[in-house]
């Protein structure tokens, strides 16, 4: 046995003839062969072994064993058992090594620790569990093989191995590499070295590995006892962990890359070789390598190209230190306006003073600092300033005075010289008046020239030469700045050497010069000169921020040269890049490598037939700013980028380059912090502290909070108090900002440590308050996730799923139900058998019921009460209803603690931190049925939140899973399919695709065993049946009856949702017979709601049935059902759900009255409804009411009340981040300017909102609101002044007439419709009908109290019936004279005058029949 090593690590080898024999025998063995070495064959009982001779070898191959007839098994077994006496028994029977039972001996333990790798010792000391030591991670393998001149003599090879191991260890330790094992291989001794073990990952790992390999090769080649040195280097993902039996195992690496490195080492002897991954990942110049011919290597199918590393010796060349990337004139600098403004301001200061200026841009690698410097260089050169630009590398830091050397070479014009004699001539001409010729030789080394060495110069010390050089350079620069302004631009300034920093610090104090630098954060404290420059009063220090989402989108479209990209790709790149340009580029390269991107010609939207698959195919397009920045001669984009096939971007592995960056950051943490990050990665991007604590092995809460606080401070995690804070933070990335180091340096140093402790304590307090945590960078989460082994992932996912399942329901504020009503009763997929609902069911089975449940269960059908007698007038009924709502509001305020919930709705937060992670946990576990359940819940939740795009996305996820479950037919699967089609119909309806919606809803009803008729015969038969059924429900007495089973309720609720949408779809159709389908759907909704015996569903059905008949003009029916709904709420208990039902009824009645033109009553009802929802702390409901309430007030010209409501809407929208609320606010603001004649918010502000949010997924995929904003802008800009053709006019008139005659729209719109019809008539020269329509519109306006439309109609009538003609600039002059609301409040403007400030529809005087 040979023991060797140094003071930190020891190794041992077993060597000798027996080992040599076994190695030779191993080379002869094929799969399933047993080879005996010559010595082994001699010692065997040959009568028991049948062998086969190997030609020309003394070793033999074993065929089989043949025990002799005299063989006695019992005797053999007894002999074997005698050896067992040497092994422990009883409690220690599993311990096969007696040394493990020795008493504790610190000295012995310290000695044995030298045989264990440092990274493993750290994890053992940190008490990491053995099961978490193994992981899959990218590493770099360096296999070193030493063949000795005299292989057989242990005393010869022993000293050589000792010398080699000491040197190898010292080289590896410098770059955080380690020797994993040492063993005797085919020929000689082999060292398995690894870079990137857990906790040891470092930046530039591949280049460090190659540098170490070259160093080891050079050293070992000089050891005279070593004959040949061979090294193989390979990079890739391998298994790093524990291998072997539980009682005899080791920590090592296993994988294809380990095998490739070993084979390259043996098949390419005497050189340093590497694979293509190492070659490409090193980022070293190509002249460092030479491609070798391919060889067939055992056990390696295709290793790819193999390269020989020739050495790492930098070629020093003038003119090679410029910025690496060339600036493309056609490629604009995106998203860096603020950074350029800093330059322009500092440049202005520099030109206007006689002082130096320093501008420093600090940012992590990949933030685009070099691009900023290139843009600055271009801007400076346009102003004819002299710029000297260089880019440094890591090697630059190791070379003394290198930065100044390159800068001065450029100042002296030496960078363009091809020969040293040419450089000498330039130098002589420049310094002849500044330096005596005998001292020219001091420039030889720095500028690579050959001036004769004088006696005086040879006697100068190094420091004196340095001072002489600095003095000379200062004189040269002093002369130069008198001729022209000089700007030094230095990229990667963190690699400036200390002497160069000192010279630059002296330079800015003595000579007016402008220095611009970009740098990454210093790895260690900067030198004194660098610190002095940073703290100089003339230094502007900028921390570069990330690009904003719209800039990333512009960059992608520009890089791919396309008109637009899919929304999914846009979200993936914006989220994955975190606004870092390099991350975005690497993600794009990775997608291109996996052939995910497909480029197709841009098709016109009109040509596209709308289907479910292309419903949301709307592209994310570059902003107008990018289009302006394009060159004038450049052709427009003609292609778009799409995703190939059934690609799921979230499942793609991150690029190797980004994975390495994340691993370097991960391994720089303590082992306990690494474990926390890895566990958090299993949960997902966003998680709660409760779930993290649940899955952390053997942690207490205090440990976790402290670790989280540290990681938040290190920008690994962000913490948020609520889901709203999280959503607002995700909308924008961090921006660049200025850091004043001079101010920071004035703070006392003695308080720094105390300040850091206070900061950590504050972070801990913040983490305790913020229960939502999110990874700052998705790449870190994906990288940490991929470190886990498959079985480990499965166990952790299961743990997460069990925990999350308990909270996978709506919030307590919404009574903890499913997002799809009674979903889990119809589909039982829960892991935990005993949940909250099960406990409730058990309690109910024993007869325990709450008072509220008892009351509500009896309100399914109510008897006709005399709340509203037939003698009451409509005004008296309205007053009684309003008084009831007032009494409810008073009761809510009086008994606030009993009625009003303590917190607002948390459903959106539950969706993000519970449901979405839970679905993906089940997907990772392969539990497709459970994953489908939660994907449908997520889609339903997003529909509740008005996010059609996200609902569509998760419905597509559910559709994929539905296809995998098609083989098995069960009721639960049928219900899931029906729910899918029901949700699909809702999405299509919201998007205005009525044909698709109708098709999906009918399919859902068929699966729910409630077919909807498809022909007139079945229609009338079904109508007859439903009327009888309805008559039965309406005439039965209110009595105790058993409620439907929960799974039946789930079915009924889905049916109700389908019928509610169907009658609205059929009502919108112009065909006469479709009204019968609408009537049937409406009555089926009522019948289904009555069957549920749910008060809220019944009231909702009554109100919708009433609205249907109001739109159809059936006075008797709608009034009856409206009164029935109101009587229903009068009988409800005013507690939680009852109060919400009352508020819903008030809001629905108010909106119905608005639609039917009863504006005053709508305002009264809306005001009360919004007060109730405000007291109930439900901002989602409140802002909806404020939106339509502001419309009512606008039509009534009640300006003060309108502005008050708009103020509430704005405050609520800003506080809650409601994009709908903001859009509605600006929509009304535009209408105020167009039709009310004053300005509340300026047009520029409204337009800015539209430009910033036109690609917002909620607004973009909502039918109507964004279109309304666009139309207002178009009218404001008077874009519609072009003349219409006769065909267009006639077609428009027919459409408007059909809207009125078919009763497909609300009565409140009739004045506007008749106004437009009159306008079209006057364009056609039909004066008679024009007058008729105008008078009809005025009549409707008078009846409804629509003062806005009435005033506009009178203006149109006055203008159209006169011979006056609008001037071309009439609207422009009107716009300029619009008063602000503040002037109106101050009584500076007559209210009557502003009524005339309206947009007037243009009429050609030749078309006017009057």
CB 688 within 8 A of CB 142: no
Interatomic CA distance for residues 521 and 495, integer angstroms: 11
Contacts of residues 761-766 at CB distance under 8 Å and 24 or more positions apart, as own/partner, are: 763/709, 763/710, 763/712, 763/713, 764/705, 764/706, 764/709, 766/709, 766/712, 766/719
Interatomic CA distance for residues 465 and 467, integer angstroms: 5
Bridge partners of 41, per DSSP, are none
Mean pLDDT, all residues of the chain? 84
> DSSP labels for 484-552?
S-EEEEEESGGG--HHHHHHHHHHHHHS--EEEEEEPPPSSPPPHHHHHHHH-TTEEEEE--PPPHHHH
> DSSP labels for 391-407?
E--HHHHHSTTHHHHHH
CB 60 within 8 A of CB 53: yes
Model pLDDT, residue 847: 42
Encode 1210-1224 in three state secondary structure: HHHHHHHCCHHHHHH
What's the token pair of residue 895? 């008994």
CB 615 within 8 A of CB 991: yes
Interatomic CA distance for residues 269 and 292, integer angstroms: 12
- In three-state secondary structure terms, 1037 is coil
> DSSP labels for 1125-1155?
HHHHHHTS-SSHHHHHHHHHHHHHHHHHHHH
CB 1169 within 8 A of CB 888: no
Bridge partners of 515, per DSSP, are 358, 488
Going by their DSSP bridges, the two strands 539-543 and 737-739 should be labelled as antiparallel
Model pLDDT, residue 1135: 79
Bridge partners of 816, per DSSP, are none
What's the token pair of residue 789? 């082994």
Interatomic CA distance for residues 978 and 1006, integer angstroms: 8
What's the token pair of residue 227? 């004959």
Interatomic CA distance for residues 99 and 89, integer angstroms: 15
Q: How many CB atoms lie within 10 A of CB 72?
A: 9
Model pLDDT, residue 627: 57
CB 983 within 8 A of CB 957: no
Model pLDDT, residue 1053: 95
Model pLDDT, residue 900: 73
Interatomic CA distance for residues 817 and 824, integer angstroms: 9
* Residue at token pair 């503040």: 1382
State the Cα angle at 494 between 488 and 496, rounded to 5°.
60
E-strand ranges in 285-353 read 289-292, 306-309
What's the token pair of residue 260? 């490739």
Model pLDDT, residue 1050: 93
- In three-state secondary structure terms, 1304 is coil
Interatomic CA distance for residues 232 and 1154, integer angstroms: 80
Instruction: Please report, for the chain, how many H helices and E strands are present, in that order.
Output: 63, 26
Q: Which of 377, 399, 372, 375 is nearest to 388 (CA)?
A: 377
Interatomic CA distance for residues 260 and 1110, integer angstroms: 79
> DSSP labels for 143-204?
EEEEEESSTT-HHHHHHHHHHHHHHHHHHHHHTTEEEEEEEE-SSSEEEEEEE--TT---TT
* Residue at token pair 């079209």: 1320
Q: Which residues of the chain have pLDDT under 70?
A: 83-100, 129-131, 151-152, 185-186, 247, 313-330, 604-608, 624-637, 744-755, 831-871, 896-898, 966-968, 1036-1041, 1070, 1263, 1278-1304, 1363-1369, 1402-1410
Q: Which of 543, 488, 505, 504 is nearest to 741 (CA)?
A: 543
Model pLDDT, residue 978: 96
> DSSP labels for 1337-1380?
HHHHHHHHT-HHHHHHHHHHHHHHTSS----TTHHHHHHHTPPB
Q: Which of 951, 912, 924, 948 is nearest to 935 (CA)?
A: 951
What's the token pair of residue 1295? 């459409």
Going by their DSSP bridges, the two strands 514-519 and 565-566 should be labelled as unpaired
User: How many residues can be counted in the chain?
Assistant: 1410
CB 766 within 8 A of CB 651: no
List Cα–Cα distances, 545 to 100, 203, 616, in angstroms.
Answer: 56, 22, 32
Interatomic CA distance for residues 545 and 336, integer angstroms: 9
CB 181 within 8 A of CB 189: no
CB 604 within 8 A of CB 563: no
What's the token pair of residue 1265? 């609101």
Torsion sign over Cα 442, 443, 448, 454: negative
Interatomic CA distance for residues 1279 and 1276, integer angstroms: 8
């Amino acid at each position: 046995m040979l023991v060797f090593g140094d003071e930190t690590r020891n190794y041992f080898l077993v060597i000798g003839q027996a080992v040599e024999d076994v190695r030779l025998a191993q080379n002869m063995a094929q799969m399933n062969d047993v080879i005996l070495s010559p010595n082994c064959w001699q010692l065997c009982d040959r009568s028991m072994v049948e062998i086969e001779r190997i030609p020309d070898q003394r070793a033999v191959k074993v065929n089989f064993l043949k025990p002799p007839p005299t063989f006695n098994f019992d005797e053999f077994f007894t002999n074997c058992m005698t050896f067992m006496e040497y092994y422990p028994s009883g409690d220690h029977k599993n311990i096969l090594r007696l040394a493990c039972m020795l008493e504790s001996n610190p000295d012995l333990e310290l000695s044995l620790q030298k045989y264990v790798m440092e990274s493993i010792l750290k994890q053992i000391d940190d008490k990491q569990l053995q099961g978490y030591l193994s992981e899959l991670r990218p590493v770099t393998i360096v296999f070193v093989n030493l063949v000795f001149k005299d292989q057989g003599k242990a005393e010869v090879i022993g000293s050589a191995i000792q010398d080699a191991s000491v040197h190898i260890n010292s080289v590896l330790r410098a770059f955080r590499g380690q020797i994993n094992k040492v063993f005797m291989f085919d020929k000689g001794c082999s060292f398995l070295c690894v870079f990137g073990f857990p906790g040891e990952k470092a930046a530039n790992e591949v280049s460090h590995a190659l540098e170490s390999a070259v160093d080891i090769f050079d050293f070992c080649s000089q050891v005279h006892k070593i004959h040949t040195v061979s090294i193989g280097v390979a990079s890739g993902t391998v298994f790093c962990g524990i291998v072997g039996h539980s009682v005899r195992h080791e920590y090592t690496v296993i994988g294809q890359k380990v095998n490739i490195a070993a084979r390259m080492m043996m098949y390419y002897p005497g050189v340093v070789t590497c694979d293509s991954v190492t070659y490409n990942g090193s980022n070293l110049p190509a002249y460092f390598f030479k491609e070798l011919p391919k060889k067939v290597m055992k056990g390696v199918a295709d290793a790819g190209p193999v390269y020989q590393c020739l050495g790492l010796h930098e070629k020093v060349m003038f003119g090679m230190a410029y910025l690496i990337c060339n600036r493309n004139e056609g490629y604009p600098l995106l998203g860096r306006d603020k950074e350029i403004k800093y330059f322009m301001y500092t440049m202005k200061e520099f030109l206007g003073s006689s002082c130096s200026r320093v501008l420093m841009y600090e940012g992590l690698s990949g933030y685009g600092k070099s691009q900023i410097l290139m843009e600055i260089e271009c801007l400076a050169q346009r102003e004819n300033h002299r710029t000297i630009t260089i880019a440094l590398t890591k090697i630059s830091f190791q070379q003394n005075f290198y930065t100044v050397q390159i800068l001065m070479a450029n100042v002296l014009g030496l960078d363009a010289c091809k020969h040293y004699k040419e450089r000498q001539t330039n130098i002589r001409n420049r310094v002849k008046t500044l330096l005596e010729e005998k001292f020219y030789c001091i420039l030889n080394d720095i500028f690579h020239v050959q001036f004769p060495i004088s006696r005086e110069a040879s006697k100068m010390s190094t420091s004196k030469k340095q001072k002489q050089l600095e003095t000379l350079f200062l004189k040269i620069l002093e002369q130069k700045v008198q001729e022209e302004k000089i700007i030094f631009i230095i990229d990667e300034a963190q690699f400036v050497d200390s002497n160069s920093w000192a010279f630059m610090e002296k330079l800015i104090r003595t000579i007016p010069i402008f220095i611009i630098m970009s740098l990454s954060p210093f790895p260690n404290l900067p030198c004194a000169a660098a610190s002095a420059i940073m703290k100089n009063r003339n230094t502007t220090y900028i921390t570069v921020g990330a690009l904003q989402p719209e800039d990333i989108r512009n960059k992608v479209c520009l890089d791919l040269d396309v008109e637009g990209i899919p929304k999914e790709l846009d979200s993936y790149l914006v989220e994955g890049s975190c606004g870092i340009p390099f991350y975005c580029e690497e993600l794009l390269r990775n997608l291109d490598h996996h052939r995910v991107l497909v480029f197709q010609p841009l098709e016109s939207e009109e040509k596209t037939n709308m289907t479910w698959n292309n419903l949301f195919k709307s592209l994310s397009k570059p902003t107008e700013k990018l289009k302006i920045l394009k060159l004038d001669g450049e052709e427009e984009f003609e292609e778009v980028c799409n995703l190939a096939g059934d690609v799921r971007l979230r499942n793609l592995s991150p690029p190797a380059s980004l994975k390495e960056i994340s691993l370097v950051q991960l391994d720089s943490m303590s082992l306990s912090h690494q474990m926390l990050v890895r566990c958090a990665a299993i949960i997902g991007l966003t998680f709660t502290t409760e779930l993290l604590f649940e899955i952390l092995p053997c942690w207490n809460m205090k440990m976790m909070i402290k670790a989280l606080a540290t990681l938040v401070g290190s920008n690994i995690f962000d913490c948020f108090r609520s889901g709203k804070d999280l959503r607002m933070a995700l909308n924008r990335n961090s921006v660049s900002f200025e850091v004043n180091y001079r101010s920071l340096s004035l703070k006392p140093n003695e308080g720094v440590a105390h300040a850091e402790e206070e900061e950590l304590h504050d972070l801990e307090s913040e983490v305790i308050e913020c229960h939502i945590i999110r990874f700052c960078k998705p790449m870190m989460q994906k990288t940490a996730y991929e470190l886990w082994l498959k079985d480990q992932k499965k166990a952790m996912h299961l743990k997460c799923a069990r925990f999350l399942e308990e909270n996978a329901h709506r919030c307590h504020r919404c009574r903890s139900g499913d997002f799809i009503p009674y979903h889990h009763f119809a589909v039982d997929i829960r892991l935990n058998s005993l949940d909250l609902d099960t406990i409730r069911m058990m309690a109910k089975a024993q007869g325990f019921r709450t008072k509220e449940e008892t009351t509500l269960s009896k309100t399914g059908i109510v008897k006709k009460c005399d709340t509203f007698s037939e003698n009451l007038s409509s005004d008296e009924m309205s007053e009684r209803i309003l008084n009831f709502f007032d009494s409810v509001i008073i009761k809510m305020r009086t008994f606030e603690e009993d009625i009003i919930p303590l917190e607002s709705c948390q459903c959106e937060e539950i969706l993000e931190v519970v449901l979405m992670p839970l679905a993906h946990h089940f997907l990772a576990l392969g539990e497709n049925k459970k994953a489908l359940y939660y994907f449908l819940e997520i889609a339903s939740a997003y529909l509740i939140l008005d996010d059609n795009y996200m609902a569509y996305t998760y419905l597509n996820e559910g559709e994929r899973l539905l296809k995998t479950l098609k083989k098995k037919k069960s009721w639960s699967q049928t219900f899931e399919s029906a729910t899918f089609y029901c949700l699909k119909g809702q999405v299509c309806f919201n998007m205005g695709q009525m044909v698709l919606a109708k098709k999906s809803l009918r399919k859902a009803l068929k699966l729910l065993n409630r077919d909807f008729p498809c022909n007139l015969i079945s229609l009338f038969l079904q109508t007859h049946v439903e009327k009888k059924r309805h008559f039965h429900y309406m005439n039965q007495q209110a009595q105790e009856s058993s409620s439907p089973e929960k799974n039946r309720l789930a079915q009924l609720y889905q049916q109700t949702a389908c019928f509610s949408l169907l009658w609205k779809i059929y009502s919108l159709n112009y065909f006469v017979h479709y009204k019968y389908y609408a009537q049937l759907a409406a009555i089926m909704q009522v019948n289904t709601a009555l069957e549920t015996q749910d008060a809220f569903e019944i009231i909702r059905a009554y109100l919708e049935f009433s609205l249907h008949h109001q739109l159809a003009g059936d006075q008797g029916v709608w009034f009856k059902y409206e009164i029935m709904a109101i009587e229903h709420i009068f009988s409800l208990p005013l507690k939680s759900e009852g109060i919400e039902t009352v508020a819903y009824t008030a809001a629905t009645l108010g909106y119905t009255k608005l639609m039917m033109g009863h504006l005053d009553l709508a305002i009264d009802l809306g005001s009360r409804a919004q007060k109730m929802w405000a007291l109930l702390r439900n901002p989602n409901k409140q802002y909806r009411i404020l939106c339509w309430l502001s419309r009512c007030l606008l039509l009534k010209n009640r300006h003060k009340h309108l502005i008050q409501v708009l103020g509430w809407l704005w405050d609520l929208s800003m506080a809650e981040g409601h994009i709908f609320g903001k859009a509605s606010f600006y929509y009304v603001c535009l209408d105020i300017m167009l039709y009310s004649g004053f300005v509340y918010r300026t047009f520029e502000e409204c337009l800015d909102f539209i430009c910033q949010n036109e690609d917002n997924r909620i607004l973009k995929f909502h039918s109507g609101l964004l279109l309304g904003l666009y139309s207002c802008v178009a009218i404001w800009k008077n874009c519609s002044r072009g003349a219409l053709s006769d065909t267009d006019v006639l077609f428009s008139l027919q459409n408007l007439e059909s809207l009125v005659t078919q009763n497909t729209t609300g009565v409140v719109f009739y004045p506007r419709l008749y106004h437009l019809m009159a306008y079209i008539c006057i364009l056609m020269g039909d004066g008679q009908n024009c007058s008729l329509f105008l008078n009809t519109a005025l009549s409707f306006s008078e009846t409804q109290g629509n003062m806005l439309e009435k005033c506009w109609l009178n203006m149109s009538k006055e203008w159209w019936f006169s011979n006056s003609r609008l001037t071309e600039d009439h609207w422009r002059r009107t716009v300029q004279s619009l008063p602000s609301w503040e002037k109106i409040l101050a009584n500076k403007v007559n209210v009557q005058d502003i009524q005339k400030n309206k947009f007037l529809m243009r009429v050609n005087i030749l078309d006017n029949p009057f």
